[in-house]
Each structure stands twice: as structure tokens, then as C-alpha cells.
Amino acid sequence: DGGITQSPKYLFRKEGQNVTLSCEQNLNHDAMYWYRQDPGQGLRLIYYSQIVNDFQKGDIAEGYSVSREKKESFPLTVTSAQKNPTAFYLCASSIDFGQGGQPQHFGDGTRLSIL
Amino acid sequence: KQEVTQIPAALSVPEGENLVLNCSFTDSAIYNLQWFRQDPGKGLTSLLLIQSSQREQTSGRLNASLDKSSGRSTLYIAASQPGDSATYLCAVIYNTDKLIFGTGTRLQVFP
């Protein structure tokens, strides 16, 4: 079945540590996205990628980094510079970017907590 | 500033009722609007996508309408069931192609 796989489901970060969240899709989608969800707030865009080897900052990119070396993979690294990383992280993809009419499909999320 | 608001924040109803969830957006120049469902601890499932040129979309017991000029969309759920219990999120896309989400309506349907 085609879809988006996020791993791990739960992740714990120690003080000063960088952690990487995995996102893999087999939908052959060009565009991929990372969102952060906090209680009582809507999803906020961290980074997005329109195509392989390209990515752009979203609304809350500080303290995060990404790479897009392969079409199917878009890992997110939460760096030690992100002082409030505890949240639910969601990865999404869409067929392409810039058309305004393509739905985004989401993975099941990774919950990150501070130790 | 482009913002999306959803009312009510939470709703609890008995099984069988017809429901209306509301979504409003401050900038009416949208490309499309998408309704999602989110179960606790899970990702988002796309329910309906309405293009800016459309007035409504239907899927089974769900019907979503769009009134661009007034900056509103409604999600109508007919004959609600306990399995409909979830958080429903509305999101809009402008010319930047980035989704702007509302904070959601948490729905509980009890038997």
C-alpha cells in the first residue's frame, strides 16, 4: 500500500542532543512537508521541499534542519538550538508544489519529548 | 495576517444527530480549502478538498461547503456515529501553496 511512514513513533531527547525524525513516502510525490503540532494550536509549517535537493524554510524553521537527497525521503533534525522541542511532528507529501489544488497526505506522526 | 478559526472548539452529541462544523478565514483569496480528520495520537486523514471555484463537495455522509466571499466553510456530518469521534481540522491554501490550519473542533459522539 502506498503511504507515508514516520519513525520512530516516540522519541526522547536529552539536553544538548540532536535527534533525527524519519519520513519516507512511496507515493512518488515531488513535494514533502514537516509540521509541528502543539496542544491548542493549529499545525505550523517547519520546512518544505518542492523537489529533490531543494528545501525552503517554513514559519518556524529556527532550531531545525532538513535534507532531501532522495525523492522518497525527507528527514528532520531537531537540533539543540530548538529550546522547546516537545511536540507532535507530522510529515506530509503532495503530488507537486505550486498548483494549489493537490491534497496533502500525512504520516502518523512522531511524538518528541525531553528527558 | 492570514488566519483560520474553527468554531466550536469542542462538541459532544448523541448518536444520530446531524452536525455542522464551522471554519472561517480572514483572507478570502484562497486557492482551495481542505478538511481533515485526526484521531488521538495519529496523523491527519484528508476528508474533502474544495477548489476555490467550487461551492461544495460531498463524500458519503460528509458535505463541505465553501463561501469565499464571506470567508467561511462548513462541514456537515449527517446521522453522526460514535466512529465519527475525532478532531476535525480545516486548512486553506493561498498562492504560497502552504497550508494554514485552524485549531480544530474536537467531536465526541456518544451512543
Task: Say what the pLDDT of residue A36 is.
Answer: 97
- % of chain A at pLDDT higher than 90: 76
C-alpha closest to that of B56 among B48, B66, B46: B66
Does A90 contact B46 at a Cβ distance shorter than 8 Å? no
Task: Say what the pLDDT of residue A95 is.
Answer: 87
**pLDDT digit string, tens, across residues A18-72:** 999 999 999 999 999 999 999 878 899 999 999 999 999 999 999 999 999 999 9
Task: Say what the pLDDT of residue A98 is.
Answer: 66
Q: In B, which residues are within 8 Å of A106 by CB distance? A: 36, 43-46
C-alpha closest to that of A76 among A29, A20, A33: A20
pLDDT band at B98 (very low <50, low <70, confident <90, very high): confident
Q: CA-CA distance, B18 to B77, in Å (whole number)?
A: 6
**pLDDT digit string, tens, across residues A68-109:** 999 999 999 999 989 899 999 999 999 877 666 678 899 999
Bridging pattern class, strands B44-51 and B32-38: antiparallel
**What number is the average pLDDT over the span B55-83?**
96
Task: Say what the pLDDT of residue A101 is.
Answer: 65
Residue B47 · residue B57 · CB < 8 Å: no
As a whole number, the mean pLDDT across chain B is 93
Task: Say what the pLDDT of residue A40 is.
Answer: 78
Task: Say what the pLDDT of residue A25 is.
Answer: 97
**pLDDT digit string, tens, across residues B20-52:** 999 999 988 888 999 999 999 899 999 999 988
Q: CA-CA distance, A17 to A2, in Å (whole number)?
A: 33
Does B97 contact A42 at a Cβ distance shorter than 8 Å? no
Residue B96 clears pLDDT 70, i.e. is over it: no
Can you read off the three cell numbers belonging to residue B103?
A: 485549531
Chain B residues with CB-CB distance to A under 8 A?
4, 31-32, 34, 36, 41-46, 49, 51, 89, 91, 93, 95, 97-104
Task: Say what the pLDDT of residue B31 is.
Answer: 85
Residue B72 · residue B26 · CB < 8 Å: no
